[in-house]
Amino acid sequence: MANLTSAKPDELALAAFELFSTRGIAGVNMDAIAAGAGVTKGSLYWHYASKKEIILAACNLYYRAWRRQILEATESSDRPAEKLEAAVAFSVRSCLLDDANRVFTTEIVAMSLYDSEVRASWAGFLDETERFFLGLTHRAVGAGELRCDDVDRAVDLMLAAMEGIKQIALFRPQACLPENEQRTCRRLMSLLGERVSALA
């Protein structure tokens, strides 16, 4: 068992995330999180006073990872439309094809139905995601690389479609199989507008 001084909040949140992603939030108690992190229950409670606190910490860990990874995924190109395509591709891999992320975020959305703190946390992340895609899409349109009459509507529709695919995967797992990645990316990109292929 790790002692109190070696138990770091992010390590505990990661252990909780991994358990929530495999057993569901309702199926995991503080004893299981402590055991999964290799710490005493007292060490866990030293950092997190309740299960709600560690759920929100797991959310924050997920949000920080998303910020870092989507910036890494989009930094290799200078062209706005290519950055947008890279962001969509990253989102498909991270939000739909990654089982742990898909299960965790589905659990969080379900919990948001009746928990206002979790709902506010997830709503803040959705707002950030929307701003990110709005910025990329507006830049691609402004650069003449993408045709889109209504960027706000297009981004709303694309994000809603992605959430819909995630929900459909509960009943049709084939929707999130790796072999469908390219097709899913193309369909989501088509909602954002028409790529201008010739940059004369």
- Answer yes or no: is 23 within a domain: yes
- Answer yes or no: is 200 within a domain: no
Strand partners, 39: 2
Same-domain pairing of 66 and 43? no
The whole model's pTM is what? Answer: 0.90
Same-domain pairing of 73 and 145? yes
At a CB cut-off of 8 Å and minimum separation 6, what does 42 contact? Answer: 4
Same-domain pairing of 100 and 179? yes
Q: What is the pLDDT of residues 111-166, one digit of tens each?
A: 999 999 999 999 999 999 999 999 999 999 999 999 999 999 999 999 999 999 99
CATH code, domain carrying 115 = 1.10.357.10
Same-domain pairing of 81 and 134? yes
The alpha carbon dihedral of 140, 145, 151, 156 has a sign of negative
Domain count, the chain: 2
Helix/strand/coil for 195: strand
Q: What is the pLDDT of residues 13-46, one digit of tens each?
A: 999 999 999 999 999 999 999 999 999 999 899 9
Same-domain pairing of 38 and 19? yes
CB atoms within 10 A of CB 139: 16
CATH code, domain carrying 23 = 1.10.10.60
Structure tokens at 72: 């890494």
Q: What is the pLDDT of residues 34-90, one digit of tens each?
A: 999 999 999 899 999 999 999 999 999 999 999 999 999 999 989 999 999 999 999
Rounded Cα distance between 88 and 93, Å, is 9
- Answer yes or no: is 54 within a domain: no
Same-domain pairing of 15 and 109? no
Q: What is the largest CA-CA distance in the chain?
A: 65
Same-domain pairing of 136 and 155? yes
Please give the residue range of the domain that contains residue 71. 59-195
Same-domain pairing of 37 and 118? no
Cβ(47)–Cβ(56) under 8 Å?
no
Cβ(121)–Cβ(56) under 8 Å?
yes
Same-domain pairing of 182 and 135? yes
Query: What pLDDT score does 175 carry?
Result: 87
